[in-house]
Amino acid sequence: MNDIGLIGLAVMGQNLALNIVRNGYSVSVYNRTAEKTKKFIEERVKGEKITPYYDVQNFVKSLSRPRKIILMVKAGNPVDEIIQELLPYLQEGDLLIDAGNSHYNDTDRRLEKLSHKGILYLGMGVSGGEYGALHGPSIMPGGSLKAYQMVEEMLLKISAKTEDGPCCSYIGDGSAGHFVKMVHNGIEYAIMQSIAEIYDIMRKILGMKSNEIGLIFHQWNEGKLSSFLVEITYKIMQHIDEQTQKPLVELILDKAEQKGTGKWTAQAAFDLGIPTPSLNLAVVARALSHFKKEREILSNLFGEKNRIAGDRSLISDLEKSLELSMFSSFSQGLWLIHEASIAHNYKINLLEILRIWKGGCIIRAKMLDFIKDILKENPQNINLLFSEKAMNFIKDKIKSVIRVTELSRRSGIPTFLLNSTLDYIFSLTESHLPANLIQAQRDFFGAHTFERTDEEGIFHVEWQPLE
Ligand code: NBP
């Protein structure tokens, strides 16, 4: 009898299985396509306690009870299909763990359906890509506490470790784990976009070559910006294509793909009414990049842009710009998680989220310690801005972002993320927004009513008729 079952032997599943056995557990594995299972066993399993199965029934039979089965399959219908296949062989008290990037609504639906059959279910976010899955990811499990406790010991063992402990914590009820993982990805999109914009300015305004840009990111990674995404950026900049001997990044087509978690984050933010402009615009920027042919035609129509030549003193402004955009992306993401926690009754502890994001995951960053300090001072300060510490940090960086965005605008370089960072902060620190005019317009054309600043109540007036 094996301790754990794992279904789905693509890159994440293979690595997670190897991580689990390295930590002292025996694992049964199954994959829909048998060839992949055979290949995995032949090429990557070297005497570890991993047993392959080629049919679901024997796979389930091989597990000690209550059974614990991790699903690492493509999100969406595949998860429902594999659950359907498993159900005839499962018994009350068995536990299914969906470790893929499932939409939180799907997780709630599956939890509800399976609870009627006595099957326990966890929706578990796993971050860290293939490296993390093998060496220790950041793990975000949500569902019933009882279900979590059945696998807690193993999850703590296989997760990444920092000086603050294992990067795994029970996130909360229902789909809390998948919701937090989704927002993690939304923040990831935003940080990636801000890094990309800064790279663009370095090459177009400062005329820097990829290897020089890599060196700057390398330096930044030694300082306050130390993070997974900054680290991989300098490694990417230094990667030379064997065939052409050019930096590979310069040969990669500028069309960014996406699998949906960034879009879902923006949709959830719209649904809950939380402003996450940077997270939303990171999705817009990827979508816009897809129109390569149109961009080529329009760039000819528009004609040459007048690129302002900047000097290297801009580099410290770029560093501060990245710091502020990273901070504001976390601010927006945490606010969204907090609001969702109330709306869905997740009972999420934001400090725990920050702790488990410190290691193993794609958005791990030294800055999380600073963010944790702000939140510890006042746990109600969920978007981080209501603090002197945060305001001092913002004021120290904001002039740099203004300088960088002014220069890039005058040079015709798009900076969705850097602009949205400014607009997010400027809007939240503005006591008078022009929303009064919007309310008047709504009342004019739709009798939608408005409130007044000088009187309590709901008002509607007969505006001047149209000519
Ligand atoms: P993929 O997301 O590419 O999924 C491939 C796996 O799903 C294969 O094992 C495939 O089996 C299986 N599968 C499919 Br497709 N349809 C199935 C079905 N109807 N029934 C059973 N199995 C089915 O793999 P991945 O990149 O390893 O990611 C796994 C999960 O982890 C996804 O939800 C992903 O979003 C999430 N995730 C990925 C990363 C990453 O860096 N890649 C990071 C964090 C989370 P087959 O071999 O028979 O086609």
Domain boundaries, the chain: 4-174, 181-428, 434-467
Tokens of 43: 């090429």
Q: What is the CA radius of gyration of the chain?
A: 25
Q: Does 3.40.50.720 match the CATH number of domain 4-174?
A: yes
**CA distance linking residue 229 with residue 361, whole number of Å:** 10
Proportion of the chain above pLDDT 90, given as a percent: 99
- Start-to-end CA span in the chain (Å): 82
Encode pLDDT of 261-309 as tens digits: 999 999 999 999 999 999 999 999 999 999 999 999 999 999 999 999 8
- Residue written as token pair 């024997």: 58
Q: What is the DSSP letter of 241?
A: P
Encode pLDDT of 58-115 as tens digits: 999 999 999 999 999 999 999 999 999 999 999 999 999 999 999 999 999 999 999 9
Tell the CATH topology of 181-428: N-(1-d-carboxylethyl)-l-norvaline Dehydrogenase; domain 2 (1.10.1040)
* 345 in a labelled binding site: no
**CA distance linking residue 418 with residue 329, whole number of Å:** 10
Tokens of 186: 């939304």
With a 6 Å cutoff on the Cβ, whether 329 touches ligand 1 is: no
Say whether 181 is catalytic.
Answer: yes
With a 6 Å cutoff on the Cβ, whether 138 touches ligand 1 is: no
Distances (CA, A) of 140 to 32, 80, 166, 440: 26, 21, 11, 45
Encode pLDDT of 153-169 as tens digits: 999 999 999 999 999 99
Catalytic-role residue among 68, 188, 339, 358: 188
- Ligand 1 centroid from CA 75, angstroms: 7
With a 6 Å cutoff on the Cβ, whether 8 touches ligand 1 is: yes
Give the atom of ligand 1 at the shortest distance from the alpha carbon of 12.
Answer: 27
With a 6 Å cutoff on the Cβ, whether 107 touches ligand 1 is: no
Residue 229 has pLDDT above 90, yes or no: yes
At 361 the pLDDT is: 95
Quote the pTM value.
Answer: 0.97
Q: What is the DSSP letter of 141?
A: E
* 381 in a labelled binding site: no
Domains 4-174 and 434-467 share a fold: no
Distances (CA, A) of 258 to 9, 109, 251, 286, 289: 22, 24, 20, 8, 11
Tokens of 141: 């499990």
Tokens of 19: 């991580």
Residue 402 has pLDDT above 90, yes or no: yes
- Grouping H, G, I as helix, E, B as strand and the rest as coil, residue 3 is coil
**CA distance linking residue 240 with residue 249, whole number of Å:** 8
- Ligand 1 centroid from CA 39, angstroms: 16
- Please state, rounded to an integer, the average pLDDT across all residues of the chain: 97
Encode pLDDT of 353-381 as tens digits: 999 999 999 999 999 999 999 999 999 99
- Ligand 1 centroid from CA 388, angstroms: 45
Encode pLDDT of 29-62 as tens digits: 999 999 999 999 999 999 899 999 999 999 999 9
At 258 the pLDDT is: 96
At 266 the pLDDT is: 98
Closest CA to 138 of 162, 115, 121, 119: 162
With a 6 Å cutoff on the Cβ, whether 251 touches ligand 1 is: no
Residue 231 has pLDDT above 90, yes or no: yes
Q: What is the DSSP letter of 264?
A: H
**CA distance linking residue 264 with residue 443, whole number of Å:** 32
Residue 12 has pLDDT above 90, yes or no: yes
At 102 the pLDDT is: 98
**CA distance linking residue 392 with residue 76, whole number of Å:** 44
At 467 the pLDDT is: 86
Phi, psi of 414 (to 5 degrees): -70, 135
- Ligand 1 centroid from CA 147, angstroms: 23
Q: Residues 376-389: what's their mean pLDDT?
A: 97
Please name the amino acid found at residue 197: E
Catalytic-role residue among 181, 263, 358, 372: 181
Q: Residues 217-243: what's their mean pLDDT?
A: 98
Q: Does 3.30.930.10 match the CATH number of domain 434-467?
A: no
